Amino acid sequence: MSKPSTIAIDGSAASGKSTLGALLAQRLGYLYFDTGVMYRAVTWAVLDRRLDPADVEAVSRLAETLTIEVKSNGPDDGRLYTVLADGQDITWPIRSPQVETFVSLVSSYPRVRAALTAQQRRIAAAGSIVMVGRDIGTVVLPEADLKVFMHASAEERARRRCREIAAQGKAANYDEILAAMRERDKQDQEKPISPMIPAADAVIIETDHLSLEAVLDRLEHLIREV
């Protein structure tokens, strides 16, 4: 039985989809691509350039001109990949609470989504890919061979993000991170363009009480069933 060529993994922030997607791609020998970092990169650039995140025109122009690169290599500091914006390493800055606060707004703009979705589809066209995001199965790759939606409570996701930040030797405010995640979830679920919802044919996996290995085993089982 042949393996699915295109695997779409969607889910909320810190649901575990990025780590699991990377591990799954490694086991399959597939390309791993986390689309969320592209929206975070644009958001970081908006804040770095002191633009108003609510200025649709300015943000859209920036998204259409910003050079975003995602590479598999980089410093050995716990990262899964390296994210560059116009050549600058922003792998960790895009995980800040400030970016968390505005990324949903920035990613809701039609021109921003159009610019980045076009890049994502071109990358996926080659096949043998695990693509991770929030609207992969519903918008970017609606014909994906396998669609998965990962879910975890906001509390568990905030704890995971705190551990991630602490691993970098930085202070993390749990309450601040939790509030930002809850607000982002609300925005992502209610936005009129590409809301964060599972595709009708997606398999939903609750990750709160599952180890990475347990979820990975579940994903590999799903692949064998396709």
What is the CATH number for 206? 3.40.50.300
Phi, psi of 80, deg, nearest 5: -90, -20
Domain assignment present for residue 15? The answer is yes
What average pLDDT does this structure show over 9-34? 89
Residue type, 112: V
Q: Does the residue 113 lie in any domain?
A: yes
pLDDT tens, 167-208? Answer: 888 888 999 999 988 988 888 788 777 778 899 999 999 888
Is the residue at 60 inside a domain? yes
Q: What's this model's pTM, rounded to 2 decimal places? A: 0.76
**Domain contains 181:** yes
Q: Which pLDDT score, from 0 to 100, does residue 91 have?
A: 94
Residue with tokens 């975003």: 68
Tokens matching residue 16: 């575990």
Cα radius of gyration (the chain): 17
Let me know: does 10 contact 147? Beta carbons within 8 Å: yes
Q: What is the pLDDT of residues 101-144, one digit of tens each?
A: 999 899 889 999 999 998 899 889 989 999 999 889 999 999 99
Q: Which of 135, 158, 147 is nearest to 208 (CA)?
A: 158
Q: Determine, yes or no, domain membership for 25.
A: yes
**Is the model more confident about 56 or about 71?**
56
pLDDT of residue 187: 80
Domain that holds residue 210: 6-221
Per DSSP, the three-state class of 198 is coil
Mean pLDDT, rounded, for 215-225: 90
Total count of domains within the chain? 1
pLDDT exceeds cutoff 60 at 13: yes
Note whether residue 226 is domain-resident. Answer: no
Residue 1, domain member (yes or no): no
Q: Do residues 3 and 223 make contact, with C-beta atoms less than 8 angstroms apart? A: yes
Q: Within the chain, how many helices (H) and strands (E) appear? A: 8, 8
